Structure 1
């Protein structure tokens, strides 16, 4: 993982607005609707919440996968999501197309643990990832991750690098 900032881009995720914005040299260049956690803001393990604060993209996964590819445990299953597959597994939290795995930078906030237990974004498997097109954007519905439209995550994936700064803010 390279930690030197070799890019002048950064991502800002705004929970109140349910948006992800790409900034380059402090200028907004791209903005996408997202869906963050149904359970709101939080960093504790098993809270089902989206963590706040300073993060980096730890790993980019899925670069060669077709759009709507299904991932389980960050590995493509070879399936492509469609309505029929969705009906077969209504309980699944679909991870599609691409994964940007986030890692927290603030000890005791979104990294490591605190008095309440584990609060580590990376260990909690918090990603930015694609979701079925039937899932609404702009509404907090995820289990903690940041969901995006498949076309959007594929486009975003090409704009970002491992080690890039990601700030998640309440509003």
Structure 2
């Protein structure tokens, strides 16, 4: 079912656009870093530039599965669990782990996206989408990451840009 060959994440739009052979196939709301764009280790910013999906984690896990260190804790997110763990950075359901493709921008040294553990991942339904709130990752609704995950092959290109998605692409799904 891998039908997407490029994901474009717009920090301005707070949207993920999925393309296949240049055609827009998918648009999903996301939440990127509260601290904005940036590549530096420890910045809690979302890195810009060209990336690729280096690993896919959680294929057989239930919706809402809580992941820590890329492993399932055995927990499934609930509002009650959320209340019991205030301040927890929830990584849920699936992970698409990104690796930077641009040396000195998002690959290598203090700017390495993979070493920064930059993911696309599910988040609690009570967290807003379309608003920057993450610690650097790209958050999606659990239902959206479940929809996206099987459509994205390993090494799929992921462009993260500050600019809005081009108007021609945004208009295609309207």
TM-score, normalised by the number of residues in structure 2: 0.91
> Are 1:7 and 1:164, in contact at CA under 8 Å, matched by a contact in 2?
no
Q: 1:90 pairs with 80, 86, 93, which one?
A: 86
> Are 2:120 and 2:137, in contact at CA under 8 Å, matched by a contact in 1?
yes
Moved over 3 A (4+): none
Q: 1:66 pairs with 62, 68, 91, which one?
A: 62
Q: Distance in 2 between matches of 1:107 and 1:140?
A: 26
Aligned pair in 2 of structure 1 residues 163, 42: CA closer, same or farther (>3 Å)? same
Is 2:73 the counterpart of 1:81?
Answer: no
Aligned pair in 2 of structure 1 residues 112, 66: CA closer, same or farther (>3 Å)? same
TM-score, normalised by the number of residues in structure 1: 0.93
Q: Distance in 1 between matches of 2:94 and 2:85?
A: 20
Is 2:141 the counterpart of 1:107?
Answer: no
> Are 1:128 and 1:146, in contact at CA under 8 Å, matched by a contact in 2?
yes
Secondary structure in structure 1 of the residue aligned to 2:60: coil
Q: Distance in 2 between matches of 1:66 and 1:81?
A: 10
User: Which structure 1 segments of 5+ residues have no match?
Assistant: 1-5
**Residues 60-95 of structure 1 deviation map (CA, whole Å, 9 limit, x = unaligned):** 000000000000100001110000000011111000
Secondary structure in structure 2 of the residue aligned to 1:168: strand
Q: Quick check: which one's helix share is greater?
A: 2
> Are 1:41 and 1:49, in contact at CA under 8 Å, matched by a contact in 2?
yes
Secondary structure in structure 2 of the residue aligned to 1:154: helix
2:37 aligned partner:
41
1:131 aligned partner:
123
Is 2:114 the counterpart of 1:122?
Answer: yes
Once the 2 structures are TM-superposed, how far is the Cα of residue 8 of structure 1 from its aligned partner? 6.1
**Residues 98-142 of structure 1 deviation map (CA, whole Å, 9 limit, x = unaligned):** 0000000111100112xxxx1000000000000000000000000
User: Which structure 2 segments of 5+ residues have no match?
Assistant: 164-174
Q: Number of matched residues?
A: 162
